[in-house]
Structure formats: structure tokens, C-alpha cells
Amino acid sequence: MKIQILGTGCPKCKKLAEMTEKAAHDLNIDYELEKVTDIKDIMSFGVIGTPGLVVDGKVLLAGRVPTENALKDLLRNEIK
């Protein structure tokens, strides 16, 4: 699973990255995490508000940091 965190490095973006790594670890997901920080690259996903969460090219979340349980649910739904 390829997980991308979209954000310029703000505290919310860092928080989402930390939470995502923990959630993926807790769910025992084999993943690769990439932080996308360039505004043009972020906008190419159609995301205007950060932070954003992309899994395997699909935008799952934008503009907010979810609860831990909601984040786990998002990731769990993308496990193939």
C-alpha cells in the first residue's frame, strides 16, 4: 500500500503523518509512506486544504485530521 501525506509541513500535516504511521503499524499493513510537500504536486491531487491523505492514488481525506479510529477505518477499507 502506498500512503501519501499531502502538506507543506504544518503541525496538522505532521500530526496526520504520525497518526497514519501508527495506524498502519497497528493494523499490520505493509506500506510505503511518502510526504508530498510541493504545492503543485498537492494541487495535482485536486486537494486545496491540507493535510491530505492519499492511498494508492485515491484521496481519502483533505483539510482535517481525523480521529484515530476514523483513520484506522479509512485504511482498513483500502486493504486489498
- Annotated catalytic, 10? yes
Give the strand pairing for 2-6 and 32-36: parallel
Answer for the pair 56, 1: CB distance below 8 angstroms, yes or no: yes
Which of the following is catalytic: 2, 10, 18, 63?
A: 10
User: What is the C-alpha to C-alpha distance for residues 59 and 71, in angstroms, rounded to an integer?
Assistant: 13
Which of the following is catalytic: 3, 5, 13, 55?
A: 13
Answer for the pair 53, 1: CB distance below 8 angstroms, yes or no: no
Q: What is the DSSP letter of 67?
A: -
- Annotated catalytic, 31? no
Q: Which residues are catalytic?
A: 10, 13
